[in-house]
Structure 1
């Protein structure tokens, strides 16, 4: 999905650019753009609800179902109508590969099995819950009225009437309880596939776009987020963010004002990702060490601490040599030039008349 404003801007721009050459492709790109705008709003709402309510309510589950459904529809449109025809478009090809990885990123966040994020849908174990919900019958202690049903139940509990009778029957293998969102998407481990699609998009962006291009920055920014949230590789995420910022500053190509503003925005996000996962104590230690070292150096320079004896001896030996050299230069120096006056110079012809 086009999660950032940069992706949505390029998606609308490229959809308008290919409108004359391929109207069907342009129509599908505009549909994916509208779907991405709605999906980004749903994702922001889901993150806010997760912060407010860690436990999932019915409204939260419905929101998650809506997010999964939108992602599935966007992926279907992308794989059927966009990816097969983007071979001759450079920026559109990179954007299409990035969108595919983004949709799988959502699947990993909300519907991966096993879950890798706190935002995922937990698959309920219906067998365990059904067995736990069954309450054992209370003993009557002989005070109730005797009935025929009680007699039949007593006989069946003492001696089964059939050899195959023996308690509750479990479903056969492969026919167990389905997860709540199985009607939308099959349950699977989407993490390896999403990781591979992100690597494909990054390799394509590095081969076709320069270091400060907005789409290239967008791909690496979301992949850094994917490494931190889903793969749980905080060090790899920080390293990727740092290397991407270095590539931006080292890129020799020129960019326009619009791309410059996009690059500044994405570099700001990458700068925040470089600090994700770092404790405040480690940051404080690093800053205090730097300030202590700088303050100690300044104190030594200001107080003028005594030097070692070797340096003092060298300084004493060099002092007479320096004085002798100064005296020699003064003796060999030419006499001073008299100062110039403000009287105008005379021409040789004028000098004769003057005499």
Structure 2
């Protein structure tokens, strides 16, 4: 994903910048960079599989464990060593808040309960192995009858009498925990992830200019989160559309590398503006020599999203 590449660039550049004055912070940023590269590769592999079937193949289970573990360790390093030391550094602060939201985004995709994504693992339905039969096929002969004369006086004569007594509440057999619960609690991470995305977005709007590639990275992943995790298709398209308009309206200059990153992210955002919309049906013709028919059997046509109008000097931005 283009936003992940931007995040890695800023991780490396900012680590070099702070290294002379804060070696510990630089070391943690470099560690998060290496973890982020590994995590991106594993999530891309999982997306290609489309579904992690942990009940049939051990490879899927190991991949799922690896993704959850990497995201958990990255979040621990970020919250314990990076966030307390970001200070007033604008880009580093935005990046740290964005990475925290990204790690929770991973939890929602792969470890949420209830599951919301097809690529994740169903944590609400733990796998319960079958209990082996101990009678080897020889069931209890239920056709034996006991004569009334041979029935003891202490034996129950009514179907509801007697029987085994169940354990009191709280002392019953423990249900098996879902896969991955030993790494991370199986809960609903969507509210927390959404709140962290909104915090990162507010920081990016206040500290970075409109066409800053890190700011675009925050909004690109937030738009993906809205679409994939909250299923807010209209909100995702609106955010992508508004972000493109802000880029065209921005007048700040940028170097060649940031300009290329901004172009890539704007391309991704352009695709997001059409994500979830039904394609328009081509007009039907009544015959080879007649024009297009004025009637259509399809539903009401969708309104195409208007393309943003470029500002002065931004005509060849994309």
Contact 1:90/1:208 (CA < 8 Å) preserved in 2? yes
Matched, 1:210 2:192: no
1:52, distance to aligned residue in structure 2 (A): 9.8
Aligned counterpart, 1:335: none
Contact 1:3/1:37 (CA < 8 Å) preserved in 2? no
Aligned counterpart, 1:66: 66
How far apart, CA to CA, are the structure 2 residues paired with 1:241 and 1:112? 25
1:118, distance to aligned residue in structure 2 (A): 1.4
In structure 2, do the counterparts of structure 1 residues 55 and 268 end up closer, same or farther at CA, with 3 Å as the change threshold? Answer: farther
In structure 2, do the counterparts of structure 1 residues 102 and 126 end up closer, same or farther at CA, with 3 Å as the change threshold? Answer: closer
How large is the Cα RMSD of the aligned pairs?
3.7
Contact 1:221/1:270 (CA < 8 Å) preserved in 2? yes
In structure 2, do the counterparts of structure 1 residues 141 and 188 end up closer, same or farther at CA, with 3 Å as the change threshold? Answer: closer
Aligned counterpart, 1:278: 277
Aligned counterpart, 1:99: 99
1:190, distance to aligned residue in structure 2 (A): 0.6
Matched position secondary structure for 2:69: helix
Structure with higher RCO (Cα < 8 A, 6+ apart):
2
The structure in which a higher percent of residues are helix is 1
In structure 2, do the counterparts of structure 1 residues 126 and 62 end up closer, same or farther at CA, with 3 Å as the change threshold? Answer: closer
Instruction: Give ranges in structure 2 of 5+ residues lacking alignment.
Output: 144-154, 285-290, 292-318
1:78, distance to aligned residue in structure 2 (A): 0.1
1:137, distance to aligned residue in structure 2 (A): 5.6
Contact 2:219/2:240 (CA < 8 Å) preserved in 1? yes
Matched position secondary structure for 2:184: coil
CA deviations 1:230-263 (Å, max 9, x no partner) are 0001111111111100000000111121111010
Aligned counterpart, 1:222: 221
Contact 1:78/1:96 (CA < 8 Å) preserved in 2? yes
In structure 2, do the counterparts of structure 1 residues 254 and 223 end up closer, same or farther at CA, with 3 Å as the change threshold? Answer: same
How far apart, CA to CA, are the structure 2 residues paired with 1:234 and 1:134? 53
Matched, 1:259 2:258: yes
Which of the pair has more CA radius of gyration?
A: 1
How far apart, CA to CA, are the structure 2 residues paired with 1:103 and 1:175? 30
1:165, distance to aligned residue in structure 2 (A): 2.5
How far apart, CA to CA, are the structure 2 residues paired with 1:127 and 1:269? 38
- Bigger drift between 165-174 and 38-47 goes to 165-174
How far apart, CA to CA, are the structure 1 residues paired with 2:275 and 2:234? 9
Matched, 1:27 2:27: yes
In structure 2, do the counterparts of structure 1 residues 131 and 124 end up closer, same or farther at CA, with 3 Å as the change threshold? Answer: farther
- TM-score normalised to structure 1 length: 0.68
Paired positions, count: 274
Contact 2:52/2:119 (CA < 8 Å) preserved in 1? no
Aligned counterpart, 2:238: 239
How far apart, CA to CA, are the structure 1 residues paired with 2:171 and 2:54? 35
In structure 2, do the counterparts of structure 1 residues 226 and 141 end up closer, same or farther at CA, with 3 Å as the change threshold? Answer: closer
Matched, 1:15 2:12: no
Aligned counterpart, 1:349: none
Aligned counterpart, 2:176: 177
